Amino acid sequence: MSHYISITEAERAEMLKAIGVASTADLFADVPADKRFPRLELPAPLSEPELVRELQALASQNANAQSHSIFLGAGAYNHFVPAAVDQILRRGEFYTAYTPYQPEISQGTLQAIFEYQSLICSLTGMEIANASHYDGATAIAEAAIMALNLVRNRRKIVVARGVHPQYRAVLRTYLQALDVTITGDETPGATLEDALALVDEQTALLIVQSPDFLGRLHDLRGLAERVQARGALLAVHFDPIALGLFQTPGEVGADIATAEGQPLGLGLGFGGPYLGIFTARQKHVHKIAGRLVGATKDVEGRLAYVLTLRAREQDIRRERATSNICTNQGLMALAATVYMSLMGKQGMRRVAELCYQRAHYAAAQIAALPGYAVHGGPFFKEFVVRCPRPVAEINAALREQRIVGGYDLGADEPELGNAMLLAVTEMNSRAEIDRLVDVLRSVA
């Protein structure tokens, strides 16, 4: 009997008697006899100390933010995670709870989600936020589906080239079975204006990203009006850390705004679980996908929280639901909530300043190196570096020095030549940046 089983042999016998069968095997008489109790070729079980050793060995084979200096971003960023975030996540009352369908005994989770929605609205300037999607990519895909439901009889989505290539791929996966055209991102170097030019009377949604995949900040003022004048909606994908300093999607009049919430205290985690942030205007609330928590009161008049506007969801609406989403990223939303609460107004601004200043310092140092060039234009924490040699060779040299170099743009933006996308955050000290610059100089 494993240590996860709590029924003794004597109890088992007593229970079988109560059920009225002779053996446990009798409980499985409905399973076709020739398919019953198959052999499973699995490794022999391991004890806890053996598992610890095995997993430590596996973990030690991966570069990570403790073993390496990380200058790689491209959608996942090495930001500071305050110790208190994980301390709260480790409370069993949070992480071993179920979805809060029974509000009387789920007020902890419900209040945390309500505070998450409040904080996300404050950060973005948007009117409503849902309880989360899977990640930034699926949040964009759900934005497209929502727009197709809101803007009737239009079957075209325009997506700017500056949207993360993996997000654009997921958008295409999600919409592949629907009769929808996705365009705007086919041409290398296509600008926001190029995308806007494609927004016509068939278009339901324009999706833009700022800072974009290449790190550039765009002035989005006036864009929403131009899109809306053509009867379409505007979705803005943002970096939540950038909003400590820069234009919010709410200020520029976006209809929908999405983000990858990973920078808000989630850590790198080899790609997940992350957090899909999804916000919209109040008037679109009945078409939003995913859970929403609202404030109300109980029969004694106490303020309390509950899942609300549930008639949008799959368990009630079935094939007419706004999405099939059920399980979301609840615990990750809690992490972001604790992170934003700890950072507060000053901390959010401070982290953004540190990213901006250190990234600009790094860019200036690299631009001064012979053979290297840095792309112009305003950027936040990521920028494109043209290199004198193939990026793979440069990254191999950086690896020797326990530095994880930038993202090789060769596959996504081949016309840029030997180009890498470098990310600098508040975790990269000046000394670390100087060391990066030294290695780059030596391999030029």
Partner 1 sequence: MDNFEPHIYELSAPGKHGTNLPRLDVPETDLPENLLRQDDLNDFPELTELEVVRHYTRISRNNASIDTGPIFLGSCTMKGNPKLHEEVARYAGFAAAHPLQGDALSQGALRLMYELQHYLGEISGFEAVSLQPAAGAQGEFTGILAFRAYHLDRGDHDRTEVLVPNAAHGTNPATAAMAGLKVVELKSDARGNVDMDDLRARLSPRTAGMMLTNPNTLGLFEDQIVEICRLVHEAGGLMYGDGANFNAILGIARPGELGFDFMHYNLHKTFTTPHGGGGPGSGAVGCTAALAPFLPGPRVRKAPDGSYELYTPEKSIGRMKAFHGNFGMLVRAWTYIRTLGEEGLREVSETAVLNANYVRARLKDLYPQAVDRICMHETVLKGQIAGASGVRTLDIAKRLIDYGFHPPTIYFPLIVPEALMIEPTETESKRTLDQFIEAMRAIAREAVETPELLHEAPTRAPVRRLDEVRAARQPVLRYDAEAFRRLREG
Q: Which residues between 48 and 87 bind partner 1 (CB under 8 A)?
A: 48, 51-52, 54-68, 70, 72, 74-76, 78, 80, 82, 84, 86-87
Q: Per the structure block, which two tokens stand in for 298? A: 């109980």
Task: Classify residue 258 by its DSSP letter.
Answer: E
CB 330 within 8 A of CB 340: no
Q: Does 152 bind partner 1 (CB under 8 A)?
A: no
Q: Which helix (H) or strand (E) holds 398?
A: helix 391-400
Tell me the CA distances in angstroms from 339 to 120, 133, 276, 299, one per residue in order: 12, 18, 16, 33
In this structure, which amino acid lies at residue 212?
A: D
Q: Which is nearer to partner 1, 151 or 427 (CB)?
A: 427
Residue 155 found at the interface with partner 1 (CB under 8 A): no
What residues from 351 to 370 belong to the interface with partner 1 (CB under 8 A)?
A: 351, 353-354, 356-358, 360-361, 364
Stretch that binds partner 1, among 2-10, 151-159, 197-205, 409-417 (CB under 8 A): 2-10
Restricted to residues 184-203, the positions that interact with partner 1 (CB under 8 A) are none
User: Per CB under 8 A, does 297 bind partner 1?
Assistant: yes
Asked if 29 is part of the footprint of partner 1 (rule: CB under 8 A), the reply reads yes
Our CB check for partner 1 shows the closer of 60 and 442 to be: 60
Residue 22 binds partner 1, judged by CB under 8 A: no
What is the number of residues in the chain?
444
* Contact (CB, 8 A) for 382 and 421: yes
Q: How far apart are CA 120 and CA 330, in angstroms?
A: 14
Q: Write out the binding residues for partner 1, residues 94-133 only, by CB under 8 A.
A: 94-100, 102-109, 111-115, 117-119, 121-123, 125, 127-129, 131-132
Q: What is the DSSP letter of 318?
A: G
Distance CA 149, CA 331 (A): 29
User: Are the C-beta atoms of residues 339 and 81 closer than 8 Å to each other?
Assistant: yes
Residue 327 token pair: 């399980």
Applying CB under 8 A, the site for partner 1 has a residue count of 208
- Minimum distance between the CB of residue 198 and partner 1, rounded to whole angstroms? 22
Whole-number minimum distance, CB 151 to partner 1, in Å?
18
Binding mask of the shown chain, residues 230 to 269, with x at each position contacting partner 1 by CB under 8 A: -------------xxxxxx--x--------x------xxx
Q: Which of 27, 197, 368, 444 binds partner 1 (CB under 8 A)?
A: 27
**Distance (Å, whole) CA 236 – CA 207:** 6
Does 9 sit near partner 1 (CB under 8 A)?
Answer: no
**C-alpha span between 161 and 207 (Å, rounded):** 10
Q: Are strands 181-183 and 203-209 parallel, antiparallel or unpaired?
A: unpaired
Taking alpha carbons only, the member of 208, 192, 188, 216 closest to residue 363 is 216
CA distances from 146 to 76, 203, 373 (A): 26, 13, 41
Shortest Å, Cβ 129 to partner 1: 7
Contact present, 426 and 351 (Cβ < 8 Å): yes
Is residue 179 involved in binding partner 1 (CB under 8 A)? yes
CB 145 → partner 1: shortest distance, Å?
8
Residues 307-336 that bind partner 1 (CB under 8 A): 308-310, 313-321, 323-332, 334
Instruction: Choose one: 146-154, 199-207, 290-298, 366-374; the region binding partner 1 (CB under 8 A).
Output: 290-298
Tell me whether residue 166 or residue 231 sits nearer to partner 1 (CB atom): 166
> Which contiguous run of DSSP H or E holds residue 141?
helix 136-150
**Residue 157 interacting with partner 1 (CB under 8 A):** no
CA distance 397 to 387: 13
Distance (Å, whole) CA 340 – CA 336: 6
State which residue, 82 or 231, has the beta carbon closest to partner 1.
82
Q: Between residues 94 and 202, which has the closer beta carbon with respect to partner 1?
A: 94
From 156, 237, 274, 385, residue interacting with partner 1 (rule: CB under 8 A): 274
The answer to whether 401 contacts partner 1 (rule: CB under 8 A) is no
